[in-house]
Structures are given as C-alpha cells and as structure tokens.
Structure 1
C-alpha cells in the first residue's frame, strides 16, 4: 500500500487520468480502497479454510497469488479510464492473495511459538511488515518518476523468493478441524461487508449539489438495507449452522473481545493518518518549501520515516516485554501516547518546523508499536488452537474494515472543514491576481474532495481549471504565480488546517476509547491448548512430546468457550474470571515420543 500511495501522482500521470475530471475521483478512491475492502471481506473465510485444510497451504497459495497479480498490475497497455479499471481489477485480485497471507500468518506464528515467546515473535513479524512499508515509501518515490510500472514490478522478485521460501521451509504445526464450508455464512458476510464498505467509499464523493454523498439514496441503501441488514442475517445464520465460519462464541472470551475492540478503535484512529500526512506534505508543505511537484512523492516518503522508525523500535521491545508482564500496560500506554501525539499534531501550524514534526511522528510510531504486538499476542493467546485461523481472520477483518471506515471518516471531516472556507479563499485569491470574477467563481465551485485528491497527487489544479483562455490574458508574472508551486498550497493552507483540527480531534477520541477497551481486557490470559496437564496430586505440569507449556509467569488457562477452564491448583481467581498465579515451569521434550512417560517434576 505505501509504495503505491507515494507513487500515485506518477501512476495517474502514466495512465493519463486527470483527477479533476468528473468520475475520476471514484477511480482514485477504488484504486486505494479496493485492496482493503477485499482483504476485509475474505480474511475470515480464508482463516477458516486454513483451520480446516492447513494454514501453511493457504499462506503459500496466498504468496503466489499476490505475486502474480503484483506483476500483472504493471502490464496494462491501456490508458485513461480503461487503464485505471485494469489497475483496480488487479488490485482486487491481489487482495485475494493478501487476504490468504493476513488470515494465516499470525496463526502460523502462534502455532510455532510457546506463549512465553509469542509477543516477541508477533512483534518481529510486524517489524518485517513495517520495514516493507518503509522500503516502499522510498522505492515508490524513487521508481515512480522513472517509470510507474516499476512501482509494481519491483514486488515480483521479492514475491517469487517469498513464495519459494514458504513452500520449501514452512511446515504446518497447527490443529486441523475438518468441516464442510459454511456457504451461507460466507455469502451473507461477504455481501453485507462489501455493501457497507462500498457505501462508505461512495459516501465521500460528491452527490448532486452536495459536497459529499451521505444523502445519496444508493449510499444509504447500501449501508443500511444492504450492509447492516445482511450482516444481521449473517449473525443469525452463524448460530444455526453446524460448522460456522465466524465463531461468535469466541466473543465470550474477555481477552479476545477487548483486544479486538481496542484494535478496531486504534485502526479508526490511525487509518486515515497516512493519507492526511501525504496530503499535508505533498500538497502543501513541500511545495511551500521549494520542492517541485514532481519531487514531492520521494521527499514525502523520506520525511515520514520517523513514524516508521518509532514502530520499528517499539514493536519487538513491547512484544518481548508483554511476554513477561502481560499486554494490558503496554497496549493501554501505547494508545495514550498515540492520543497525545495526535493532540500535538493538531496544535502544529500547517507550515510547521520539521524537527518538531519529526519528533511527533516518532512518538506516534512508538505509541502504535507499543500497542500493536502486545495486543495481537493477547488476542492470539486467548484462542483455542483449532480456532486460531478464524480468530486471526476476525481480528484482521475488524482492523481492515476500521481502516476503510477511518478513511471515510477522516476524508468526510476534512471535506466538511474545507467546504466552509475553501470557496471564499479560492475566489479571493484568484481575483486578487486578476482572474475575472466569473472564472474565479467556477474554480471556487470545485468540490472539496477534488482539492483533497489534487493535493494527494501533488497536483496544482489551477492551470487545468483556468485553462489557456484565462491565463493568456493575465500579466505573465500573475499567470506564473498562479500555476507555480506557491499559490495553490498557500491558498488551501488555512482551510486544510480547519479540516485537520477536526480529523485529529476524532483520532484523539478513538485512541482514548481504545485505551479504555485495552484497560478492561483483564489479567494475562493464555488458552489451554492441551500442551500442559496438571496432575491431581499437585505436582507440576508435564509437557507432552513436541510441545511447550506456558511460561513460568502469571497466566490464565482457559478451556474452549462454554466449557470449564483448566486451572493451576496454585492459582487464584483474577479479574474477569481469569485464573492467575504462578504457572509451573515449562519443559520441552524431543519430537519423537519417549518409550515410557517421563516422570513428573516436583512443584517449585
């Protein structure tokens, strides 16, 4: 996503799409959103299929699918709308592979590592993903100006290597639960979520004489009658079928529910952040500091690196620490720090000094890193081993759906802020440079979403909107100023600042509520996956062959939802019904079963 987002100006110039033409806003939105929508819709289904047929099998197939369609993104020979539609179609199919990867990667790691190491393992996995985003930001800025096709082709060698490595090295260590596919559940869930997310996507586009489409009957029908109603039907279906796709009983697990609620709110808070930062840097700050519009994608990626660096530092450290002390303090503290950093961004002037901006981005990345690995580890630790694929899919669905919703909310708040001040600013600024009032009024009627996307693409729309008929009749100095890199960024700075204040206010609220949800998750909780048994005589647990018990730290061990929990005799009841107390020391046996059962060790 990051490499494409930074390279969007070059991609749109390469296929010859003018973002200000009617209807092209929809193309830009779907190029951005289609991948997120597809992954949100399919990730639970692929997680369930991984539980049934093998997680590494689904993961390996996902790597291959993702790689094939990454390459096909670059091979279109079409231009204009046809070229954009090809890219959107390939992004949709690329999202199918991405959903297979997302649904099963966390479950594979949870299967492979004991509870005392999962936070670190998941933190390192997230670091790998964030490193890819970091490289993507720079590569997108470097390769896009050379040739937009290279932005997609560069994924090919990495994808081929990753696919081959996965097929050669990954082994399935999870528990398979053969079952028949839940066709009605899959159908109602996919249709409902697609309708809901498509409604959000079209809701931020102009409709009739309105700046946005939230009053569009089609949007209201898609979100209410289509999305919400079908998802309600899906919930009913899942209570009736023998092998449901979406295990609603998992929400009886407090750690699972609280962790997913916190993840959803955190994604709402940060989902639109990358877009706002790109608009802020490419459309306003960099041009005002002497960078040409063709240079802004590369430098925007470079200037956003502190955000990535903060996540890289905090992710594995917080994951390692949560293995020893639990997730609650780190995840809650991370959300509080993220909220504070959004408040600092809200207080910055649009034309900020970079050192302060970089420090705030660093703190925001640290806050998100403190939250992400511990929260994900706590969610995965709470799941029964045969439900880790679908549980990871549910968690990713919440996260990706929230990101689509966040983009819709952030853009809506930005458009609302722009709509109040932008027309007057455009009219006043243009007439001051000698543009006739009638022509200035036409430019001022530009929908605010068009201004937002022009800024996202690092694009000065004045030349296109006024055209040679008006510009040729202006004094040369005025015409050069209007079409240069100073006029438009300065003109939209104050309206943009008004929108930013509202958007960051929403992000602060979402992060604070996420902190409360994280705080309510209870004590450390690790589901009993059958790796440890507690003999009746009070002796310590003995791990069966090829298994590792939980760490010698306070944990809660639960049975399957709706069944009694397996408790350590020395444990006491903790918050939320979880058992707490010193878990017995773990022991790892060799892969082959011993000739006779090993004698139990004495309790410490």
Structure 2
C-alpha cells in the first residue's frame, strides 16, 4: 500500500484531526455519563449487579472483539467509509437505547454501540497517522487524547445532569453530536492511501478470541458476585483456558490473521502494546469504583458525584497535549514510563489513604495524580506504536493497540467487581451499588467496601509498575 504522493495537505490534516476528535469526544462523553447513571439503572431497570456490570462490559467486549477485524476492514474498504459508517451506527443506536424497557434490551443496544465504536476507534489513529508527518504526529495524537479527556470530564457532569432528568437522556444526549460528527466526517475525510485487495477476514480467530474473552469476563464478574464455586464460573474459566491457546494456534497458521504475531517481534511494538494493556488494567476501573464510593458510601447525588470526578479526567485534558508535544521533541519511552510511574503513585495513595472519612481535597489530589499519569503516558506511547510499522500495517497496528487497551479495560472492571463484591455481604453490596443506603456510611459501615476498594486499587498500582518496566525496556523510539 503506497501513499499517494505527499501525505496530505495542510488543510486536510487539521480537518481529519477535527473529525477524529469529535468521535473521541462523543465516545468518552458516553462512557463517563453512563458510569454515573449505573446506580439509577440498577434501581429503575429492577436488575441485578451482574446484569448492570454487563451493561458496561457488553460495549467494551463488542468493541474489543471487533477492533482488529475493523482495522483489517479499514485497510481493505477504506478508513473514511468505515469511520463514517461507525459514527452513523453509534448515533442511531444511541437514539434507540433510550427507549429500551429492560436490562437485556439495553445490553443488546450497548453491544451494537460497541461494534460501532470499534469501527471508529480502529480507524481513528490510522486517519491521524496517515494525515500528519512524523514530526507532528505526537502533537496530533495528543490533541485526540485531550478531546477524549475533555469528553470524560464533561461526561461525568453530563451524566449527573441527564440522570437527574432521566437515565434515558444519557443516550439521547449523544444524538445531536453524533449527527454533526457523522456529517462532518463524511464531508471532510478522504482516502490518502491505496486500498488493499484480496485480503480475507479471520473468522475463526475472531470467534476463538471472542469466546475466550467472554468466558473469562463472565467467570470474573460472576465469581465475585455469586461465589467462585458456581458451575458457570468454572465453565467460563474453562472456555478461556481452551479458546485463548486455540486463538494463538489459529493466528499462527492463518493466511490473513486477526493479529499478525510477527509484528510483535519488534520490541517497540510489543512492549508499547503491553504497556498500553497494563495501563488500562491499572486505571480503567478507577472512575467506576469512585462512582459507587461517592454515591453509595458518601451519599452524594448523581450530579455531585459527577462534579467530584472531574479532577480524574480534567488533569488528563491538560497533560495529554503537552506530553504529545514533548514526544515529538524527546524520547517517547522516557515520557511514557514517567506517566506510568505517576499513575502508580496515585493508585498507591488511593489504595492506602482513601476511606469513608477522607477529606475530598485529598481524594481530588490523588485523582489528579492518576489523571496526570494517564495523560502523560497515552500520547507518546501511541506515537511510538504507530511509528514502529509501515503505512500498510497501520490499520492492524491501530487495531492491535485498541484491542489490548480494551482488553485491559474490561479486565480492570471485571477484576474490580470480583474483588470489591467478594468483600461485601450481598445486601450491603446492593445498597451501596444502587445508592440506596439512605445516608453517608460511617467508617465501620463502609469498612468491607473500602477494604475491597483498596485491594482493587493496589492491584492497579502493581499493574502500572509492571507497565512502567515494559515501557522502559521498549528501546529508543
């Protein structure tokens, strides 16, 4: 696949970046607002914690399972076509999701939204990488990360406001921005590389990966809620143990594999992706857990909980473009490693210092530290990964990075649920997660939740330290 002359003109590269930034903004607003709405969904849909968690995980699972396939499709049918189609589908399903009548229907809608998100996420980094010269790529990716952080910041506030009206508006809020984003992308994006012909989709690899990951997530979430001796938990772990090795075997033999294992021979590519995976494991569940901490333990309403979460994403909004700018002028390895160490320090503080009576200013400071670490890490790490492959492999490279980031995210949520839910009696667990405790909990009442909360955060700190090690060992970029 050869570039058509010069990569893209001055006008196009900023137009392309505006399109991907709107997509990043929409996706992160939706994610942040939904997390704040979870306690209300648990009550008003009359569902259990397992179904509630899968309202969140179904999106991530679908997005994860389809990301690499979407990256391959993008290399064949075109980045623009897939990105615009994903944007349109996301918008349409958001409208429908606001009309559902039960948890099962909402999980189905979220699964479709996850598929649409995969089409957008798998092509976003590729569109930016195709449009910008290498010397400006870090800054461009930093702007994308900044918009994602802005969306997360807005999302928790939007979620609080919309949920105070009706949880359905959490989904309907997406529609106007989605319509604008779809039309803007259709009008401004273009194909700047030649499309590949004759490539096939790896159906067997996709099915093996999806089955293994779904089994693992079911086992982790169900084990913490209903007990590790459940036959479904054993079946889930068994499916993962069988299907993940089968997936690697299929990939090694496939003509056009879902994951090109040979790309992992590059230490920069392999260790950059491992760092991205561990960064997601470390931080993804932090906002999820703090929603239940602020609503279930502290007794705040949804709007106040959303406002209290702002430092977590707000500082990332500032740090992301700065770290991207530095990555264009320095060594991505050093900056990314520093970001993971900062994240580990913040998580360690949360896992040892935050309790039912901790002053908010101390919690806000620790959230700001974690947000800064994530902002410092992401842009240079993405630049390093995308720069380590040629133009013809950028679709799959972007898909691989997004896949591992999403796998880390779903595992982070599943691990947090299994650790926290396993520490709390069933009745108290429902009251905290549904926000129906009726009053702020005393340190003694909140003790079991806080204990599990601390353990989950310390697991995240350990993952971040391990990620920093891989990041430091990736080699010069």
TM-score, normalised via structure 2 length: 0.89
Q: Name the residue aligned to 2:363.
A: 357
Q: Name the residue aligned to 1:316.
A: 321
Q: Name the residue aligned to 1:113.
A: 132
Give the alignment partner of residue 83 of structure 2, picking from 37, 59, 62.
59
Q: 2:36 aligned with 1:6, yes or no?
A: yes
Residues 144-155 of structure 1 correspond to what in structure 2 (within 5 A)?
Answer: 144-155=163-174
Alpha-carbon distance in structure 1 between the residues aligned to 2:202 and 2:452: 44
Q: Name the residue aligned to 1:456.
A: 433
CA apart distance, 1:406: 1.3
Aligned length: 445
The answer (yes or no) to whether the contact 2:64–2:407 under 8 Å persists in 1 is yes
Q: 2:48 aligned with 1:35, yes or no?
A: no
CA apart distance, 1:415: 3.2
Structure 1 residue runs of 5 or longer lacking an equivalent are 207-211, 420-445, 461-483, 525-604
> Which has the larger helix fraction?
2
**Structure number with larger C-alpha Rg:** 1
Bigger drift between 180-189 and 397-406 goes to 180-189
What secondary structure sits across from 2:253 in the alignment? coil
Q: Name the residue aligned to 1:379.
A: 385
Give the alignment partner of residue 159 of structure 1, picking from 172, 178, 183.
178
Structure 2 residue runs of 5 or longer lacking an equivalent are 1-30
Alpha-carbon distance in structure 1 between the residues aligned to 2:201 and 2:450: 50
The answer (yes or no) to whether the contact 1:275–1:456 under 8 Å persists in 2 is no
Q: Name the residue aligned to 2:14.
A: none
CA apart distance, 1:489: 5.4
RCO higher in structure (CA 8 A, sep ≥6): 2
The answer (yes or no) to whether the contact 1:14–1:148 under 8 Å persists in 2 is no
Alpha-carbon distance in structure 2 between the residues aligned to 1:329 and 1:31: 37
Q: Name the residue aligned to 1:275.
A: 288
Q: 2:460 aligned with 1:518, yes or no?
A: no
Alpha-carbon distance in structure 1 between the residues aligned to 2:450 and 2:167: 31
Alpha-carbon distance in structure 2 between the residues aligned to 1:381 and 1:12: 44
1:373-414 CA-partner distances (Å, limit 9, x unpaired): 111111111122111111111111111111111122222222
CA apart distance, 1:316: 0.4
- Taking structure 1 as reference, are residues 221 and 2 closer, same or farther at Cα in structure 2, changes over 3 Å only? same
Bigger drift between 33-42 and 232-241 goes to 232-241
Q: Name the residue aligned to 1:485.
A: 439
Alpha-carbon distance in structure 2 between the residues aligned to 1:384 and 1:520: 22
Q: Name the residue aligned to 1:368.
A: 374
Q: 2:233 aligned with 1:219, yes or no?
A: yes
Q: Name the residue aligned to 1:174.
A: 193
Q: Name the residue aligned to 2:400.
A: 394
- Taking structure 1 as reference, are residues 489 and 384 closer, same or farther at Cα in structure 2, changes over 3 Å only? farther
Bigger drift between 33-42 and 140-149 goes to 140-149
Alpha-carbon distance in structure 2 between the residues aligned to 1:489 and 1:47: 49
Q: Name the residue aligned to 2:245.
A: 232
Q: 2:39 aligned with 1:25, yes or no?
A: no
Alpha-carbon distance in structure 2 between the residues aligned to 1:263 and 1:277: 22
Alpha-carbon distance in structure 2 between the residues aligned to 1:115 and 1:200: 41
Q: Name the residue aligned to 1:284.
A: 297
What secondary structure sits across from 1:403 in the alignment? helix
Q: Name the residue aligned to 2:258.
A: 245
RMSD: 1.8
CA apart distance, 1:298: 0.7
The answer (yes or no) to whether the contact 1:10–1:145 under 8 Å persists in 2 is no
- Taking structure 1 as reference, are residues 336 and 229 closer, same or farther at Cα in structure 2, changes over 3 Å only? same
Alpha-carbon distance in structure 1 between the residues aligned to 2:139 and 2:332: 12
- Taking structure 1 as reference, are residues 451 and 260 closer, same or farther at Cα in structure 2, changes over 3 Å only? farther
Alpha-carbon distance in structure 1 between the residues aligned to 2:471 and 2:257: 28
The answer (yes or no) to whether the contact 2:41–2:52 under 8 Å persists in 1 is no
Bigger drift between 490-499 and 64-73 goes to 490-499
Alpha-carbon distance in structure 1 between the residues aligned to 2:305 and 2:271: 35
- Taking structure 1 as reference, are residues 26 and 504 closer, same or farther at Cα in structure 2, changes over 3 Å only? closer
1:40-93 CA-partner distances (Å, limit 9, x unpaired): 1111111111112111211111101111100000123x3xxxx12111111111
The answer (yes or no) to whether the contact 1:175–1:386 under 8 Å persists in 2 is no
